Chains A and B, each alone.
Chain A
Amino acid sequence: MTLTTFWFTVIAFLWTGYFVLEGFDFGVGALMPLLSRNEADRKQVIGTIGPVWDGNEVWLITAVGAMFAAFPAWYSGLLSSFYLPLFLIVGGLIVRGVGLEWRGKVSSRRELALCDAGIVTGSVLTAFLWGAIFGNLLYGTAFATVLGGALSLTLAVLHGAVFVALKTTGPVRARARMAALLASVGAVPAAVAALSAIPADHGSAWMWAAALVAVSTLAAGVALAWRRREGMAFTATATTIAATTATLFGALWPAPLPGLTVAEAASAPYTLTVLTWIGLIALPGVIAYQSWTYWVFRKRLTSAVSDISVH
């Protein structure tokens, strides 16, 4: 494997980490009003991602930063040609980020509602736009754009619903299970359509295999959520997103942008070698301490109201 191929794989891996991790917290943000009947429920839902969402978002910063360093022409071409959608994504991440951070620090009902509006808008908009951008990049048609957006949004919602079901107790958990089943009504056809088209057009055997893994783990995830096997279901939906991202990056090889090959876009071997060493040293550490965070907060969240004997 050449350095260029290796770095293309690393970037695919970073995007995979981003979509798997922030995928569920986009879903949680989007579903928050639907899973809640009162403020205690909303706190419970948002509490599932409270300690981790910001760390999840760094996967995006790292993926984009690594593209800048390893494939400058890919980075600059992609970002300048999807100018307005990316602006909306950044705007969405801004309102979502301040909503999540400030939610615990505001007092009035109106301010809470504003924070929630930021969280929901930012989550839905961003989850949709990532798929739309990549759908448009691959096919350039309106249909592919909408299908891509629908796929990323419904997968995020499903993944987030399963995560909430995994991390909560009581009525919120039950509603999250229902939401997961409902989301699958959109996610399954979108996944089947997109994941049969991409390997058919760019196809190699391994992409067909990845697409098959994505669709079958999606079906398994829904079935497991139905049977309340949430841990397994979450593993399945995470695998779906990972395999879908792998298929996508398979289609982006060897020309991640029209008229630009990976080899043309790449930085010189010196830079790629240096980055390889830094990545090899740093990334295992990152994965270790982020995993530790999930371990620290591994317990299910009970509703805040049941713990406080007021009202």
Chain B
Amino acid sequence: MDALDLARWQFGVTTVYHFLFVPLTIGLGVFVAGLQTAWLRTGKEHYLRLTKFFGKLFLINFAMGVVTGLVQEFQFGMNWSDYSTFVGDVFGAPLAMEALLAFFLESTFLGLWIFGWDRLPRKAHLACLWAAVIGSNLSAYFILAANAWMKHPVGYEVVGGRARMTDLWAVLTNSTALAQIPHVVAAAFVVAGGFVIAVSGYQILRERGLPLTPRRTGRGLPETPDLDATVPLRRTPGMWRTALRGALVMTAIAGVVVAGSGDLSGQLLREQQPMKLAAAEGLRHDTTAAPFSPVPGVEIPGLLSILAAHDPNAQVQGIDDIQRRYATSFGTADYTPNLPVVFWSFRLMIYFGMAAVGLSVLGLWLTRRPRKRRGSRTERPVPSWFARLCVLALPLPTMAIIAGWLLSEIGRQPWTVQGELMTAASVSPGVSLAEVAITLAAFTVLYGVLALAEGALMLRHIKAGPEPAPAEPVRSDPDAVRLTPTLMY
């Protein structure tokens, strides 16, 4: 173990942790903005209640995304100073643009939204939320463009041991970026959709007085209601069905985008990062009609070639052959990433992601509009078993996204910038093992505690459910004061 290993662990831990919260911010923000828009257009009260309910969950999560993001920006300079000096000219530009064009928008307008319920005209208040969520999504664009440059550097030249940007437009329209931005952003909508689906499924079960898991105390005995008795139940017919259906639609559409952009990324890998592609299959030698193994030991001939080139007979380079070629052009070193991690993260990303999106398609079919038969227009109820499935499926999209990042970043090793800079040459030379160890331990403890707190807080607000139908906030009405978050302005 040296400072390099610990710095890598620190980057992995803090980045994966950061990315537990960010996708929910990106997707749930848009969902809440959609709910509030629906309220403004239809005037239906349950849209307002859902807006406030999911808005609160959104804010609990947003805080964590923001504060853990700070670590990311500082970490490049603190742990990876040689990397930062090498790439800053190119890599720093999208980061500065992210702060200037996205973070200001996000933070400022979110503050206006949180505290502006009774200070701003309704339309202006809603516009603030849209501005904030546009900011969140824009930030994803810039940081992913920066990340894509590490995998496929474009628009630069190396002068005097430092990369120099020659074309910002090329950096911002990097083919790798244009494939991975829709992939990651759409995956964020799958995460947010999965979250709303799980919460709605939970609330539907509660309204029916059903437990989360069907428990039978004896043969043939009926299920016993198992509800948190301390929380009074407020029946809200149709509200959770609305939320569930909205989230199912969002997840299904996002799932199509994830699959399409993922396919595009796979083909780019073949040209730009052949080692990652080979490692994802464990393919040893250059192979035409390369197979794909859904599980180890089972090979589907030609499938990897189809994934990588849309041609069952296309050639895919193998690990050993790439290693030999890299050694010739870049000098003797080990150019092979951690094979089991890359192999499994590739599969788990696909399986978990497909399961999450499959659930949404199933849900849409189960709750589809019935055919008009003799004028009856009763909606199909959400089956209770499906509601349970919704709750159980909560971790799937997040696990898919984490697996995806492990594939993407561990598969890039041993490079920080593909073909230009190796990870071993990126770390801060002046930072000691002890310093990295201290901060790694401290971040792990702090992050662990905060994760528990966030989980508990979320769960409590989910259990409490939405506030009872709020009266119109009237400024002179003393009861209305309590509806505003903290204070009267």
Contact = CB atoms under 8 A, between A and B. Distances in A.
- Are A and B physically bound partners? yes
Interface of A: 43-44, 46-47, 50-55, 57-58, 61-62, 64-73, 75-81, 83-84, 86-87, 90-91, 93-95, 97-98, 100-102, 104-107, 267-268, 270-271, 274-275, 278-279, 282-283, 286, 289-290, 293, 296-297, 299, 301-302, 304, 307-309
Contact of A69 (B80, B92, B481): B92
A105 B461 contact: yes
Contacts of A67: 92
A32 to B, nearest CB: 13
A50 B115 contact: yes
Contacts of A47: 486-487, 489
A307 B76 CA distance: 48
Q: Which of A80, A274, A290 has the most B CB atoms < 10 Å from its CB? A: A80
Contact of A58 (B88, B91, B99, B159): B99
A44 B487 contact: yes
Contact of A296 (B63, B80, B119): B119
A57 B64 CA distance: 14
B361 interface: no
24 contacts: A47-B487, A55-B107, A61-B99, A62-B100, A65-B98, A66-B100, A68-B92, A69-B93, A69-B95, A72-B86, A72-B92, A73-B88, A75-B92, A79-B77, A79-B84, A80-B79, A80-B81, A91-B442, A97-B66, A98-B67, A267-B164, A270-B164, A270-B166, A304-B488
B120 A55 contact: no
Given A93-B70, A270-B165, A278-B100, A76 B84 contact: yes
B112 A268 contact: no
Given A55-B108, A101-B62, A274 B93 contact: yes
B256 interface: no
Given A66-B96, A307-B481, A289 B109 contact: yes
A301 B489 contact: yes
B111 interface: yes
A55 B112 CA distance: 10
Contacts of B119: 296-297
Nearest to B427: A80
Contacts of B97: 278
Interface residues of B, number: 80
B2 interface: no
Nearest to B61: A101
B77 A75 contact: yes
Contacts of B478: 307-309
B408 interface: no
Given A51-B112, A289-B108, A68 B67 contact: no
Contacts of A65: 73, 92, 95-96, 98-100
Contacts of A75: 77, 84, 88, 92
A55 B68 CA distance: 16
State the main secondary structure of chain B at its contact with A: helix
A95 to B, nearest CB: 8
B355 interface: no
B101 to A, nearest CB: 5
Contacts of A90: 70-71, 74
A267 B430 contact: no
Contact of B114 (A44, A51, A301): A51
Contacts of A69: 88-89, 92-93, 95-96
Contact of B85 (A61, A64, A72, A296): A72
A55 B85 CA distance: 28
A271 B89 contact: yes
Contacts of A274: 93, 165, 168
Given A76-B88, A79-B77, A91-B446, 12 more contacts: A51-B115, A61-B99, A61-B103, A65-B92, A80-B79, A84-B438, A87-B442, A90-B74, A105-B457, A286-B104, A297-B119, A307-B481
